[in-house]
Amino acid sequence: MLRHQLKAKCLIGKLSNACLRSLSSNIQQSPFGPLPAAPTDLLSDFIAHDWAKCGDRTFIHEGITNSSLNYEDLANRTANFAASVADEVSPAGSGRTTATVFSPNHVDYLPLVAGFLRAGGIVSPANPLYTEYELRGQIEKSKSTILIAHPAMLETAMKAVKGTDIKKVIVLGDSDCGVVGAVPFDSLAGSHANPIMSTPDYVKSAVSPADLALLPFSSGTTGLPKGTMLSHQNITINLQQFEAPEGKYMSPNSTLISPLPMFHIYGFTASLLHTAKKSNTLVTMANFDLPRFCELVREFKPERAHLVPPIILGIAKHPIIDNYDFSSLKMVISAAAPLGAEVEAGVRERLNIGCKQAWGMSELSPVGTVTPDDNLKSGSGTIGPVVSGSEGKIVDLETGEALPPGESNTGELCIRGPQVMMGYLDEPEKTRECLTSDGWLHTGDIAYVDEDGYYFIVDRLKELIKYKGFQVAPAELEAVINTNPKVADCAVIPVEDAQGGEVPRAYAVKSGDIDDDELLAYVEERVSPHKKLRGGVVWVDEIPKSAAGKILRRVVIDMDRSKN
């Protein structure tokens, strides 16, 4: 949903303090130049504009299975899938259809997403590591009636759909999966009598660029995962915003390596969609393996890499790196979790390549800030300035007033721009908690801004735990723990971890005979691996709560740290 089309007043690379504070003495605008006119295409057409010209140029190579897809096949499979599901995904009548996609990185991830959007549908990407319990929750919250699953996830998927509104299951691949009624994706994406080569008029008449396209689930600043409503235009504009700092470094024949999961908004928008829009080549991995990653760098010679801090830490310190040639890489872009300045510097020094940070969140489609290649800060640690057409400010946690630049003036980072989400699905109160009536998104990150408009994240106001870039919502884990009849109450907090950044630890009250191992196993059976209680369990007599019954998480964190 397009809310604000703001024009930046600074030339790229020439930041002016007066310019940065042109609307208010303490509001920063982007140095990356004004946005082009807002796209009027739906997302599927916007990214596919040049595919027909690319022929047999490789669009994607998945490095674990060594499977590839060229641009001609990408265009055809997208069009054929759209035509095959058009009758079921009608945007008229009873309403638009939502599909949950349950798959690791796969060469057909974009054809299935773009095809479904082209037919007028809505896509909700799910973490392929989800348990039956977690997947069912997303299916129900998203109101999905179609599930698209990878064969390796099919057992979990079929358990999850029981009792839901799922009417059709589509399985990636071409073989009979053995599940009655499940349809192979290849049978829908293969040849078709009348493929929809572009979004048909009947869809365009019912679906506008301001309508819902993508429904990733995010914990936002607090609480349980919520359906983050992103319109076609939220994402197409965000692709334009990412293009300003990144596009000039990518030629038509450029290659990007990104093992980031495609269900995650960073990997989805910045890696998958931006590569497709640029008609570049994406090298990815269904699951990350450092030696294989090194081999792929050697084989495909990518110029840029989209990574997360745990992988960058390995590149900075692991001895295996010395056995490979990384000279093709010019820049590593880190996001999804904070990266220490010392790790950033370690990569630069070890491999003589650039390393910088960007920042965002699902609610921003996701890109909010990017550090420009040609204006890296000495010592770094910065997430850069806001992207084109956006404004940023640091607000005082007590007064809500915008603070001036300076390391001592820390507060909550707020962003306003046309990439800000439409809101949370069926969660108007949660939407109002983080999104103001005049368009400012409260991000939950504590930061400061310097005189050049570069932001530095120092802490998190929000309760969200970040383990290796993955979101872990304390409230979600607490809900799981509290289903155990031997637990009377609990609170989950973040604990610092050298490898993962943060891990969850449970403070729990017993109501029966239970020990650490039993509770750890109970949780592990019900959650994805990144949500396991790697921080352990601490048994207490009671959980500190406010008069209204809300967990006083900061008190629990202070209790925990006082013991260490």
Q: What are 192-246's pLDDT values in tens digits?
A: 988 999 999 999 999 999 999 999 998 776 678 899 999 999 999 999 999 999 9
What per-residue confidence (pLDDT) applies to 17?
41
What is the SS3 assignment for 446?
A: strand
The residue among 208, 223, 255 that closes a domain is: 208
Residue 157 has pLDDT above 90, yes or no: yes
204 and 350: one domain?
no
| Mean pLDDT of all residues in 58-85 | 97
- Judge whether 223 lies within some domain: no
- Judge whether 416 lies within some domain: yes
**Residue 534 belongs to a domain with what CATH number?**
3.30.300.30
292 and 412: one domain?
yes
373 and 505: one domain?
no
**Residue 350 belongs to a domain with what CATH number?**
3.40.50.12780
370 and 507: one domain?
no
Tally the domains of the chain: 3
The residue among 408, 442, 462 that closes a domain is: 462
Please tell me the least confidently modeled range out of 3-7, 370-374, 420-424: 3-7
What per-residue confidence (pLDDT) applies to 3?
33
Q: Tell me how long the chain is.
A: 564
Pair 516, 483: CB distance under 8 Å: no
179 and 88: one domain?
yes
The residue among 173, 193, 208 that closes a domain is: 208
Residue 401 has pLDDT above 90, yes or no: yes
276 and 373: one domain?
yes
Please tell me the least confidently modeled range out of 2-6, 75-79, 256-260: 2-6
At 507-539, the pLDDT tens digits run 999 999 999 999 999 999 999 999 999 999 999
266 and 399: one domain?
yes
Q: Where in the sequence is the domain holding 135, given as residue range(s)?
A: 70-208
- Judge whether 45 lies within some domain: no
What amino acid occupies position 377? K
- Judge whether 283 lies within some domain: yes
281 and 359: one domain?
yes
DSSP character at residue 197: S
Q: Which two tokens stand for residue 439?
A: 């368009």
Confidence of residue 557 (pLDDT cuts 50, 70, 90): very high
| DSSP letters for 48-71 | TTTGGGTTT-EEEEETTTTEEEEH
At 445-471, the pLDDT tens digits run 999 999 999 999 987 777 889 899 888
- Comparing CA positions, the residue from 429, 424, 448 lying closest to residue 363 is 424
How far is the CA of 379 from the CAs of 344, 346, 348, 410, 436, in angstroms? 9, 11, 11, 19, 35
What per-residue confidence (pLDDT) applies to 11?
28
Alpha-carbon distance of 352 to 408, in angstroms, equals 33
104 and 138: one domain?
yes
At 264-323, the pLDDT tens digits run 999 999 999 999 999 999 999 999 999 999 999 999 999 999 999 889 988 988 999 999
456 and 478: one domain?
no
What value does the mean pLDDT of the chain take? 91
399 and 525: one domain?
no
- Judge whether 500 lies within some domain: yes
- Judge whether 421 lies within some domain: yes
Share of the chain above pLDDT 70, in %: 94
202 and 82: one domain?
yes
